[in-house]
Amino acid sequence: MYKEPPHPQSHPEPHILAAQLQNLWHEHFPLSRLMDVQVSAYRPGILLTRTGLVNNTNIHGTAFAGSLYAIQALTAWGLLYLELHSHGLGASSIIHAHGQIDFAQPVRGDIVAVSKLPSIDIDTLQTTGKIRLELHSAVLVNAADNPNRDDVERASTFTGTYLARLDRTEA
């Protein structure tokens, strides 16, 4: 379980948060470094990540199913991390409690994942200090850096349950 170090109460710019997430993943999640998972884009409510096929192939020369699961679980986790920080909230822990993936087609190029956040009741979160969310992500085909293109297809979809507990030592 990742335990976040204390940080100042602030609302950093999205590109700064994305860089912090990238560093956090590669320092504390060794698989993300081995897979070479990169944060491609972040704006409030949506995170786009990618990795090359070269470190993530199976015997058929397509993306390894475990890599597809991992990047989607990380993307959803990362989006929750970024959203909490964008509201000036630090989490003492964020846990991936459960996940399920459905595969629709093989991936033969870069692996591009996207996660979009459902609305979060920040007032309730601040009052209770914890949250349980179902998050979704997908690996996209033909996405480049634009998951909203008309020709984008989903290679796999992921649903995960995430738990977060706010760091109460900052108050």
Partner residues linked to 107 by β-bridges: none
How many other C-beta atoms are found inside a 10 Å radius of the C-beta of residue 98? 11
Per-residue pLDDT, 1: 47
Express each pLDDT in 133-148 by its tens digit. 999 999 998 766 556 6
Query: Where do the domains of the chain lie, and which CATH numbers do they carry?
Result: 14-170 (3.10.129.10)
- Give strand pairing partners of 132: 163
Q: Collapsing DSSP states into helix, strand and coil, what is residue 72?
A: helix
Say whether pTM exceeds 0.75.
Answer: yes
pLDDT of residue 171: 44
Q: Which H or E element spans position 134?
A: strand 130-141
Give the residue-averaged pLDDT of 125-131: 90
Task: Give the pLDDT confidence score for residue 149 in this predicted structure.
Answer: 60
Q: How far apart are alpha carbons 86 and 94 in whole angstroms?
A: 15
DSSP letters, 36-68, are T-EEEEEETTEEEEEE-STTSB-TTSSB-HHHH
Q: Residue 90's pLDDT is what?
A: 80
Helix, strand, coil distribution of the chain in percent, nearest 5: 30, 35, 35
In which residue are the tokens 């609302």 written? 11
- Would you say the C-alpha torsion 27, 33, 34, 37 has a positive or negative sign? positive
- Quick: pLDDT tens for 45-90: 999 999 999 999 999 999 999 999 999 999 999 999 999 988 888 8
